[in-house]
Each structure stands twice: as C-alpha cells, then as structure tokens.
Amino acid sequence: MPCCIDSAMKRNRFRDVSTLIAEDSSTRRIDRFDPGPGIRNPHLQSILASLKLRVRGANPLLSAARELILDSGGGVRLQGFWSRHDPPGRGIVAMIHGWEGSAASAYMLSCGRTLFRHGFDIFRLNLRDHGDSHHLNEDLFHGARIDEVFQAMIAVAALSPKMPFFIVGFSLGGNFALRIALRAGNGSLPTLRRIFSISPALDPYKATLAIDRGPALYRHYFLHKWKRSLRKKQALFPRRYNFSALLSHTTLIGLTEALMSHNPEYENYIDYFRDYTLNDAVLAPLSVPVTVITSQDDPVVPVEDFYPLENTLRAEILIQPYGGHCGFIQLYPPGCWYERWIAARMRDELEEAFRLSRRNAGGRS
C-alpha cells in the first residue's frame, strides 16, 4: 500500500493523507481530515452523510431553486433543480447524487448550500427514476446509462455558456462523473475546469457485494429504496412492468440478476457491471482534471481500487484515513470537510485562471 509517491510530480496527483500532512512549499498544502473524537467510526460517518439534520435551517440554495426538465436526446428527459445567483455567480457546479439518492439528498443539499454561499450557481441533477422523476421515461434506470447523463451535463453547461463549469459526483454519481470526464476530452464541454468525485464506486460489482455482505442495515436500506422505486415505476407503467415476482429477493445481487430480463443488451449481471467498471486502464485517457476523494475505511468501496490510479496523469487522488462512505463529517470546525476543500479548490483554480489571463493579455499588449 503506497503512502506517497516519491517524485514531486506524482505527489501532486496522488496523496494518501493518512501519512502526508502537508507538502513542501512548492506545492499546494493539503489538509488532513480529522473527524474528531467519537465520530471516527466508518459506519457512523456513512450514516451522517445522509442525515437530514445536516441541512437544518435556512438554505438559500433551495430558496433560489427552480425545476428544469432537460432534453437528454433520444426522447430522454431528466429532471434537475437550478439555483442561480442574480447576477450570475462565479461558475456553474453540476451535482450528481448516488444510487437511490436524489437531488434532495442531505449530502447534495449540504454541499450545494456551501458552494452556493461561495458564489457558485448550482444544478442538482436527478438521475432517471430517482427523486420524483419516474414518470419522465418509460425505460428503467441502470448504472450504465452514461449517454443521457453526459447530454444533461452539456445542457447544464449551456445555461451559462461562458462561465467556468465544475461537476461534483457522489458514490455512483462519482462513477458517472469520471465517465463524463473521459468523454469531455472531445471538446463538447469546453468550459469544464475540473471534476470532483466523492467516494466513487469504481467497481460496482464489488460495491454491491460489499453492501450485501456488510452490516444488514445497508442492505435493508438500499433494498427498501430500490423496491419502492420499482413499485412506483410499475404503478406508472402497469402495461409494461410487473415486478411482483422480483420483490421477494433479499440481496442486491439477486435483484440485479432478476432485472437483467429488462436489459436484454446484457448477457448477465457480470456483463452489466463490467460496462461501467473503472480502473487505471479505463481512466488512462483522461484529459480533464479530476480530483477523487475517498477514505481508507469506506465500508462500500475498497480503498485498494484507488492505488493503481497513481499513474493516471490527470487524476488527483486524496485518500483520507477516516470518512466512511461520502461522510467526512467533523466536529471542529463543524460540518463537512470536503465541502470546504472543494470550495477552496474551485476558488484557487479561478484565481489562477484570472492571473494567467491577465499575464497573457499583458504579453499581447
């Protein structure tokens, strides 16, 4: 297990901050996440990530939000919520939730509120069949539907086509965000500055097994939400769907396998998972800067999957000793560590771009 890579160039891309507190003066200082006493447990951190208590009180993000239905091509429509400053902010941040989450998940509202308060316009996407969007498309959601999500990101960036564009994805949404980064090299997202991927499920088969084999709380939670989603879909399209025989499954793998009959493009569920599995070879062509934040104690996504990414030139990997899955909640300063870190990183990138533009303008005068 590597702690930090020897060369300064690699250290700038790959940081295991369990052992690296700060870099030398020639590179950016990296804060070590320390949740504080009493809340280091990875399961507690993972539960806190989705706790509604995180978003108590006034939220200017919600006050400014309006629903938008995006045309994602091929008749696909995706729902989202657009919170824009007046006048427009410093840049656009598109946010993609995790599996069986939504635009209204606590981590989405909390991170969105932080970035909105830092002057960014925020778009919170609902993936197909998430939130209250089941009626928009007849076909079922699955994790390999990257085309429609990529088209949605193009539509979001076009809301303010001259503004810097960032994407923040969580868990499965983090996986989607990394696949968007792979496609963005073709110039279709010219204002995209950086993608942030929080606790991404790089290998969805491993993540599904981890939920099935881990504490029963996780399995019951996701099965409950998934089955509720399927019942809602069946009620909306009763002539096409009857999931009665499937709803008796007690594992995520079992229910995934049973649903393969609705996805005939895949021979089996292994083939399906493979279609959106990410590793160092898949991510090698990245041409868009990405930052991945994960933890050593994530109960869903094994940290070992991230170490081979050290040679991915455009990827910066931040591995914290604690944080659970999408947690990173701390007592002091209170709140979510990665929210502040991302806001600071976006600010620094925009300031550097401004300095560079002024330098270039001076050179042409």
> 250-307, pLDDT tens digit by residue?
999 999 999 999 999 999 999 999 999 999 999 999 999 999 999 999 999 999 999 9
pLDDT at 127: 98
- Residue 318 pairs in a beta bridge with 15, 293
Residue with tokens 């091509």: 73
Same domain, 78 and 133: yes
pLDDT at 166: 98
Same domain, 163 and 39: yes
Residue that terminates a domain, selected from 277, 304, 337 = 277
* 89 Cβ neighbours under 8 A, 6+ residues apart: 116, 119, 120, 121, 163
Q: Look at the chain and report how many structural domains it folds into.
A: 2
pLDDT at 358: 75
Same domain, 45 and 160: yes
168-202: b (≥16 Cβ within 10 Å) or e: bbbbbbbbbbbbbbbbbeeeebeebbbbbbbbbbb
pLDDT at 37: 85
Same domain, 185 and 225: no
| Nearest Cα residue to 249 out of 240, 241, 258 | 258
Same domain, 351 and 231: no
Question: pLDDT above 90 covers what percent of the chain?
Answer: 81
Same domain, 244 and 139: no
pLDDT at 364: 61
SS (H, E, C) 175-198: HHHHHHHHHHHHCCCCCEEEEEEE
pLDDT at 31: 74
pLDDT per residue as tens digits for the range 29-59: 347 899 988 999 999 999 999 999 889 888 9
pLDDT at 186: 85
Same domain, 60 and 160: yes
pLDDT per residue as tens digits for the range 145-166: 999 999 999 999 999 999 999 9
Enclosing domain of residue 214? 203-277
pTM assigned to the model: 0.90
pLDDT at 363: 61
Residue pair 327/49 in contact (Cβ under 8 Å)? The answer is: yes
Same domain, 194 and 219: no
pLDDT at 362: 66
> Has residue 15 got a pLDDT over 70?
no
14 confidence band (pLDDT: 50, 70, 90): very low
**In-domain check, residue 48:** yes
